Amino acid sequence: MDSTPAKSERGFSLVEVMISAAIMTVGLLTLLGVFGLAMASTQQAQQDMIAKQLATEAMESIVTARDTAQIPWTSIQNVSNGGIFIDNPQFSPINLPGPDGILGTADDTGAGPAHLTEPGPDGIVGTADDVQLPLTNYQRSISITPVTDAAGNVNPSLRSVTVTIQYYVPQRRAPKQYAISGYISQFR
């Protein structure tokens, strides 16, 4: 007779394997959901960045027109006030600058829609294989208003400028907006 006790050999039962497989499946599905959310957030962040750049570009265009004396100070207003910039709150499609070279003015309509140039397969911008992405998802509004002092007197050499970009992202039903505001003086 053997004096050593029998060793108990025991493995995983089928129920234990099924439970661990279910837990792993739930974990992997959750991880896939996080990847999907990260991809959507990256796409939305890119659209937010484009909106910010479009607003900044319009604001810089106004300041450059003033600095170069390309247009008189009296023209740096909305059309309804005798200026050249399309009235607010009309959201017009974003077009390339017209003959005056200034963004957001009444002569932009014939210039065609604005687009974003991305590098093509060669990875270099400015070559024949570049990809042109139209910016039809974006709309711009420029509001230029006079600035008044505490007594309500209009300061003739100072104006408030607000550039608003409205755009849609797939994750939201309502449009998003990005606005940038600042003051522009008649003097540099």
The C-alpha atoms of residue 62 and residue 160 are separated, in whole angstroms, by 12
Q: The tokens of 100 are what?
A: 């005056």
Residue 116 in domain? yes
Residue 7 in domain? no
Residue 31 in domain? yes
- List Cα–Cα distances, 170 to 41, 45, 118, 175, in angstroms: 11, 12, 21, 10
**Total tally of structural domains belonging to the chain:** 1
Residue 94 in domain? yes
**What predicted TM-score, i.e. pTM, was given to this entire model?**
0.75
Residue 2 in domain? no
Residue 8 in domain? no
Residue 9 in domain? no
Closest to 161 (Cα-Cα) out of 138, 180, 187: 180
Residue 138 in domain? yes
**Residue 135 half-sphere exposure, CB side, CA atoms within 13 Å?**
26
The C-alpha atoms of residue 76 and residue 65 are separated, in whole angstroms, by 9
Q: Which domain holds residue 161?
A: 15-185
pLDDT tens, residue order, the chain (188 aa): 556 666 666 777 888 899 999 999 999 999 998 988 888 777 788 889 999 999 999 999 999 989 988 889 999 999 999 999 988 666 667 888 888 888 888 888 777 788 888 899 999 998 999 998 888 888 899 999 999 999 999 999 999 999 999 998 877 788 899 999 999 999 87
Closest to 77 (Cα-Cα) out of 85, 69, 66: 85
